[in-house]
């Protein structure tokens, strides 16, 4: 008789949870734990890995949360874009299951960087939100089974691809009733609508990465940016400046009134194993705050 180790018992329990909650078979979808403690998945012929990019709070001088990204590849060698992977899953009629695999993978890997104050930002396409009933219910069970409360999870929706606003608003209401938080991403792109933000009432509004880049080279945008940030505050949301890649961009973002910051200067997306909280960034953030 084979004796089960604590690790093998945990894997068996995880298999049961996935079958019951998300109708996923751990073996069929190739979800495996690596020697590093991280999980990856092989689904639809693609190897899937998680990467996490930190979001910092300059006012507190500390980590605020992480945004999760999927890193698909062919056999772990040839990287492909997430957009291609999701498009492929949709073409073969597996988009819903693909999304569930991706989110489950992120949660399992998030456990390695789980901290008292850290939020997990998860991207979800709005068309997927409105096509699935009981929004967040099955995912909630996976979160709870891994000791991650729903109020630590931010459902991020890309604002520039929003369609069917009424149905999307219903889906968002369903998520918030379950304790999830909502972020609208890519705000400030050419398809943005302020009225839409008022209707959806997100807790976070993430600015398009081109905004801070334009502000670095265009004095007019530097004057407009504080007004945009104030508009976000006026609807009761917290602005997040993304795309910060230089000290100049960091200082402009803080001077404009945003305290939540994300970009390559503060940390690139890396695996949970590579991501170690560091005090090294705090002086940089504090320097930017003093300049403001």
Task: Classify residue 160 by its DSSP letter.
Answer: G
**Residue 210 contacts residue 189 (beta carbons within 8 Å):** yes
Confidence of residue 160 (pLDDT cuts 50, 70, 90): low
User: Which has the closest alpha carbon to 288: 251, 263, 240, 253?
Assistant: 251
How many residues are present in the chain? 292
Q: Are strands 204-207 and 153-158 parallel, antiparallel or unpaired?
A: unpaired
Q: Residue 235: which H helix or E strand, with range?
A: none
**Residue 246 contacts residue 264 (beta carbons within 8 Å):** no
Q: Which listed CATH number (3.30.565.10, 3.40.50.2300, 3.20.20.450, 3.30.930.10) goes with 45-291? A: 3.20.20.450
> Which comes out higher in pLDDT, residue 48 or 273?
48
Confidence of residue 23 (pLDDT cuts 50, 70, 90): low
Confidence of residue 121 (pLDDT cuts 50, 70, 90): very high
Query: What pTM was computed for the model?
Result: 0.85
CA 183, CA 162: separation in Å to the nearest integer? Answer: 13
Percentage of the chain exceeding pLDDT 70: 75
Mean pLDDT lowest for which of 150-154, 211-215, 232-236, 285-289?
A: 285-289
pLDDT recorded at residue 287: 43
Query: Is the predicted pLDDT of residue 5 greater than 60, yes or no?
Result: no
Which residues touch 115 (CB under 8 Å, ≥6 apart)? 63, 277
- What are the tokens at 78? 């040839």
| pLDDT digit string, tens, across residues 66-102 | 999 999 998 777 899 998 998 899 899 888 888 888 9
CB atoms within 10 A of CB 165: 15
- Please identify which residue in the block is written with the tokens 């999830």: 180
pLDDT recorded at residue 180: 92
CA 41, CA 101: separation in Å to the nearest integer? Answer: 8
| pLDDT digit string, tens, across residues 242-292 | 999 999 999 999 999 999 999 999 999 998 888 755 444 444 555 444 333
Query: Is the predicted pLDDT of residue 162 greater than 70, yes or no?
Result: no
> Which comes out higher in pLDDT, residue 62 or 263?
263
Residue spans of beta strands (DSSP E) within the chain: 32-33, 39-43, 46-57, 62-74, 78-79, 119-123, 153-158, 181-187, 204-207, 238-241, 260-261
Give residue limits of the domains in the chain.
45-291
| pLDDT digit string, tens, across residues 167-213 | 778 888 888 888 999 999 988 876 666 777 888 889 999 999 999 99
CA 115, CA 109: separation in Å to the nearest integer? Answer: 13
């Amino acid at each position: 008789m084979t004796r089960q180790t604590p690790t093998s018992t945990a894997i068996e329990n995880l298999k049961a949870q996935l079958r019951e909650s998300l109708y996923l078979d751990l073996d069929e979808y190739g979800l495996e734990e690596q020697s590093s403690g991280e999980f990856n998945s092989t689904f639809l012929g693609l190897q899937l890995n998680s990467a996490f990019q930190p979001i910092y709070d300059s006012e507190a001088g500390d980590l605020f949360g992480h945004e999760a990204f999927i890193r698909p590849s062919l056999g772990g060698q040839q990287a492909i874009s997430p957009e291609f992977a999701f498009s492929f899953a949709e073409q073969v009629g597996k988009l819903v299951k693909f999304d569930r695999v991706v989110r489950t993978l992120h949660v399992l890997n998030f456990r390695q960087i789980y901290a008292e104050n850290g939020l997990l930002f998860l991207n979800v396409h709005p068309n997927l939100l409105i096509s699935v009933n009981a929004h967040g219910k099955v995912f909630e069970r996976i979160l709870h089974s891994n000791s991650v409360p729903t109020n630590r999870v931010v459902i991020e929706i890309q604002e520039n691809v929003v369609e069917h606003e009424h149905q999307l608003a219903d889906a968002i209401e369903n998520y918030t009733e379950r304790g999830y938080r909502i972020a609208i991403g890519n705000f400030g792109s050419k398809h943005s609508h302020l009225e839409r933000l008022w209707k959806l009432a997100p807790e976070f509004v993430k600015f398009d990465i081109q905004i801070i880049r334009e502000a670095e080279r265009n004095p007019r945008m530097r004057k407009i940016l504080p007004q945009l940030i104030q508009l976000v505050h006026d609807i009761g949301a917290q602005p997040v400046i993304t795309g910060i890649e230089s000290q100049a961009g960091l200082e402009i973002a803080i001077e404009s009134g945003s305290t939540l910051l994300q970009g390559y200067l503060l940390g690139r997306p890396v695996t949970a194993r590579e991501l170690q909280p560091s005090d090294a960034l705090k002086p940089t953030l504090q320097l930017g705050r003093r300049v403001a």
